[in-house]
Amino acid sequence: MGGDEEARRAIRKLLEEHLESVVCLRVYRELKPVTGREDGESSAQAQGQGDDKTTKPPPEKVTAWAYATGSVTYSCHDFALVLFFAHAFTPYRAPNAAGPGDPQQLVEGTRYKVDFVDGVTKAGHLAAIDWAYDLSLTMIFMDKGEDRLYRPVKFVQHDCPAMGFSNTERNTRLCSIYCFPTEQPESLFGTSVSGEICAPLRLGREIDPTLYPDLSLFQFVMEGAEGSSGAPLFTENRQVMGIWISQIGGNKFGVLVKSICEWLYKAFNIKRTYHQQESMTIAVAELASTYSRCLGRV
């Protein structure tokens, strides 16, 4: 009983601190409308209507939505960086996609929106995606003069165990927040859940041949629903130890921060000094600085 109450308190505290740190991704594809018959004759002419009749343009057609949860990794008044998993984009993957880190890997017409917990919806701009790591990074531009800041998640310091890296042994507790849109316009619903690690650490080659062979994964048990993939997985001290990437064969897996950090360094060619370890803190700071310089706002 005491353990259940402790878990409820932990979840409430997590929602208080980090509900604004998660977002909902909605991916779809715009389909080109058909404006006439294949032989070039307009539908109005085919029905015997006069040329003076104005034909209304056909309504915009889109494919079904795909949902996922993402983690705000950086936020300023000009832009935000959000970490997602790549699998949400699979239905829209270009057949001749380029190599890892190249954002031009989606079919023409693919669009996606990012819903924040305060009801704001923004268009997403893919910065990088890697199918083997099952990770992607999105950039979201804020309107000029828009006074919006979102609390980024805090990642465990995997490069320094003394600074809070959680152990990943069986029965280690973890919590998560995942999001999906409600039926009400401009609203977002966030759900917090708890669970635990249920198996030893695994490598990508042991789970799925399409994953990067040395991808560091952990298996866990936790309630979930459509849209939960991509959600951050928090330790008991509310630091992110990994990302919920997918469910494979009925088993849930998360990718450890160590592999997330490794991917960011590779995808964005982040340099490090001889004595410097790879770090999420450094990686995010480098990305924020680079994009700020590109926008001419440093």
Tens-place pLDDT, residues 272-283? 766 667 788 888
Taken in order of first residue, the domains within the chain and their CATH numbers are 1-29+63-298 (2.40.10.120)
Q: What is the DSSP letter of 61?
A: E
Tens-place pLDDT, residues 127-179? 899 989 999 999 999 888 777 889 999 998 865 554 444 556 777 888 888 88
Closest among 240, 178, 150 to 15, alpha carbons compared:
178
Contact indicator for 253, 221 with CB cutoff of 8 Å: no
Closest among 114, 107, 272 to 179, alpha carbons compared:
114
pLDDT value of position 43: 40
pTM here is: 0.80
Query: What is 165-197 written as a DSSP string?
Result: PPP--TT-EEEEEEEEE-SSTT-EEEEEEEEEE
Tens-place pLDDT, residues 29-60? 776 654 444 344 444 444 444 444 445 544 44
